[in-house]
Amino acid sequence: MTQALQPSDLNAAQWTDVELTARGKQEKSRTLRELGRPETPESAHALLLEAGRWTEAQTPYAERLGTALDAVQLPVPAWPDEERLDLTHLPAFAIDDEGNQDPDDALSVEELEGGLTRLWIHVADVAALVTPGSPLDVEARARGATLYLPDRTIHMLPEALVQQAGLGLSDTSPALSIALDLDSEGNAEAVEVHLTRVRVQRLSYDQAQAMFEAGHPEFTRLAGLARVSRDIRFEEGAVSIDLPEVRVKADETGAQVLPLPRPEMRAVVQECMTLAGWGAAIYADDFELPIPFATQDPPHRDVTGESMTAHWARRKSLGRTRFQSAPGAHAGMGLDLYTQATSPMRRYLDLVVHQQLRAHLSGAAPLSGREVAAHIAEAGIGSAGTRTAERLSRRHHTLRHIAAQPERVWDAVVVDKRGPQATLLIPDLALDLPMTTPATPGTALQVRLTVTSYPELKVRASES
């Protein structure tokens, strides 16, 4: 009787066959079949872990999804010689998480006559370097977005371009700046877009918060504008979702899951970026420019309350944001028009917005609505793979963080219930997982977590 093939019998070519399957490079594996194992990426991954050929630090999800893991090597052109509005006299602040390497937006504020306040949102003028149809544009469209993994970042554009265009990385920076003239009630009296030159100071959120708390006038004004804007949006039906957020970091030695700090200035910056998207959408609509408008249907049910369970239910009540070349409302934002316009170095559709705005400012022919729609579809394929790879990789490294503390007891909240099966949310991990329990939604529990499978990204919860 022939003895069945064992993992210890495999030669180099057979291990290569297994690795190709684990990385999603082939659908069938003769080696796995001869071992009597399922011919799936997960089965191959499990075998590689068992044999010690892979460690828990390795994550194959981006490769399986066909997401590019190589840096863009295309040449970057020089800045074009063109007229720019000089705003270097205005204090401008790029406020980001500590360690951010691609600063692409900054804020200024100035008082105007008649009680108006002008909010400037300066954005890295990437479209000056990445023109429609250029090799850089085609490559960025295929990728869709920058890939942020816990252990590395793969930029959508060449790192040399990030260094050239990033705000505050040089003494002065070219920018495309969106200006909103706001009255005391938050109404926009005017929206303008300019090609500018700015002098930007880079700050972390903690540094900005300290300046705000010290009464720095620019930050006090920004906070006041943000509060009024939020109030208006919520009066218009914006949906409030406040759930735990974390940052996952990893390397060969281990993984960390860190709570995302929430100083008030983080919310202020987010609101100003929302205003920039609203302003860019208004400007494009006024001049009949087709851009990737971000739209969202109203929630399919109303959810009241401020508990974690209520916020979870509200998030589940919302559909996905859709991008289209024609204007439409974004219900979740509480806005009649909206686009994403502040991250052209990191998101391709933001870059398309900038290319269209630049075409209008220069008198060039913009892309047609049909061309914008095609670009939305093409970029959507790449960005969907990117976001899925990010999500799966974060979960994988979160499991590593859990496995490193097997005796820890975790706080959990039941946020949903379907029969005996509950959905738990672990706030310290921003992780949801199923568990059978009689506990009702809203119940706080203490649980132990056990990683049962890295390849299948499974973790089991049991009440402590």
- pLDDT at position 2 is 47
Core vs surface per residue 405-429: b (16+ CB within 10 A) or e: eeeeebebbbbbbeeeebbbbbbeb
- pTM of the full structure: 0.94
pLDDT in tens, the chain (464 residues): 345 788 988 999 999 999 999 999 999 999 999 999 999 999 999 999 999 999 999 999 999 999 999 999 999 999 999 999 999 999 999 999 887 888 999 999 999 988 899 999 999 999 999 999 999 999 999 999 999 999 999 999 999 999 999 999 999 999 999 999 999 898 999 999 999 999 999 999 999 999 999 999 999 999 999 999 999 999 999 999 999 999 999 999 999 999 998 899 999 999 999 999 999 999 999 999 999 999 999 998 889 999 999 999 999 999 999 999 999 999 999 999 999 999 999 999 999 999 999 999 999 999 999 999 999 999 999 999 999 999 999 999 999 999 999 999 999 999 999 999 999 999 999 999 999 999 999 999 999 999 999 999 999 999 98
- pLDDT at position 154 is 96
Cβ neighbors of 39 (< 8 A, separation 6 or more) are 21, 27, 28, 29, 32, 33
Q: Both tokens of residue 251?
A: 């390397």
Contact by Cβ (8 Å): 290, 339: no
Q: Which domains does the chain have, with CATH numbers?
A: 7-54 (1.10.10.10), 85-390 (no CATH), 405-463 (2.40.50.140)
Q: If you search the block for the tokens 């919310």, which residue do you land on?
A: 267
